[in-house]
Amino acid sequence: MGRLILGEYTGWGFGLSVLAKPDGLATRAGRYGWNGGLGSSWWNDPSEGLIAIILSERAFESADPPKAIKEFWKSAYEAIRA
């Protein structure tokens, strides 16, 4: 059931989504946070020293976040690796 909501690489932990294996953005498991269906997303990645939050006015149309949210996370990881 969790895979349908959270995706292929994540599981549940302490009421949050927890990355169980690298997903193309994070290089290690352990990132945790939540994608809110009404347009918010926050994550903490202790192995990268990254904490980021995005608040938008676009509600998710499915369990898969909108392109703008995905691009934000891609840019956040690129910024810390630059």
Q: What is the pLDDT of residues 35-82, one digit of tens each?
A: 888 989 999 999 999 999 999 988 888 878 889 999 999 999 999 987
Give the single-character DSSP code of 23: -
Q: Does pTM surpass 0.85?
A: no
> Which residues lie across from 40 on neighbouring strands?
36, 55
14-38 average pLDDT score: 87
Residue 50: which of 26, 70, 17 has the closest Cα?
26
What pLDDT is recorded for position 17?
85
Sheet holding 10-13, edge to edge: 10-13, 16-19, 32-36, 40-45, 50-55
pLDDT value of position 72: 94
**CA distance between the termini of the chain:** 37
